[in-house]
Amino acid sequence: MRPEILTRIYWFIGLWLVQVVVLDHIALLGYAIPMPYVYFFCLLPTNTQRWVYVATGFCMGFLTDLFTGTPGVGAASCCATGLAAPYLLNLFAPSGYAFDEPFTPSVRTMEWWPFLRFVISLTLLNCFVYFLLEAFTLMYFGRLLLTTLLSAALSTGFIAAFEALRKNTRHKRL
């Protein structure tokens, strides 16, 4: 197996374990639940086929659903996030970026602000779909919006920390 595939498998398992073992038991102020497993979609290179985004999203969501008691909610939200990730990457990539050569979205390839916009849009989408399906009503739209925004902010913070650690360890190896 190629080393980059093994690295992505390790990230998949690691993010899933952090989510299921630690972060699913955290609910800050009763609203914010961190969902940094969205970071996995940021680790896929631009030449990844769209079905891979959706299939890995389904696997991540399904495995999370198995251990959190939210049947289908995580799988559906991760599938939606995986489906939208390539389009959002095209939208938020720096202008004039040539997608002829594949690259992996990161701070090193995109700079902080475009990368954060990409991450924020992915986490907002994932959190909104997740909490909308969990509530399955728009009756409490204010609570849905508050939960989505706080969870997305917390998740983005975790993802930015992961990316900063990844960037620092990469520079130390060189």
Q: Does pLDDT of 17 surpass 90?
A: no
pLDDT per position as a tens digit, 94-138: 665 655 677 778 888 788 888 899 999 999 999 999 999 988 887
Rounded to whole angstroms, how far apart are CA atoms 152 and 34? 7
pLDDT at 174: 41
pLDDT at 76: 94
Rounded to whole angstroms, how far apart are CA atoms 32 and 98? 37
Q: Name the CA dihedral angle for 105, 46, 133, 19, rounded to a multiple of 10 degrees.
A: -50
Rounded to whole angstroms, how far apart are CA atoms 95 and 114? 10
Selected residue with higher pLDDT from 149 and 95:
149
pLDDT band, residue 173 (cuts 50/70/90): very low
pLDDT per position as a tens digit, 18-33: 888 877 777 777 778 8
pLDDT per position as a tens digit, 38-91: 998 888 888 888 999 999 999 999 998 888 888 899 999 999 999 999 889 888
- Decide: 64 and 130 in contact? Cβ < 8 Å: no
Give how far the C-alpha of residue 17 lies from the chain's centroid of Cα atoms, to the nearest Å: 14
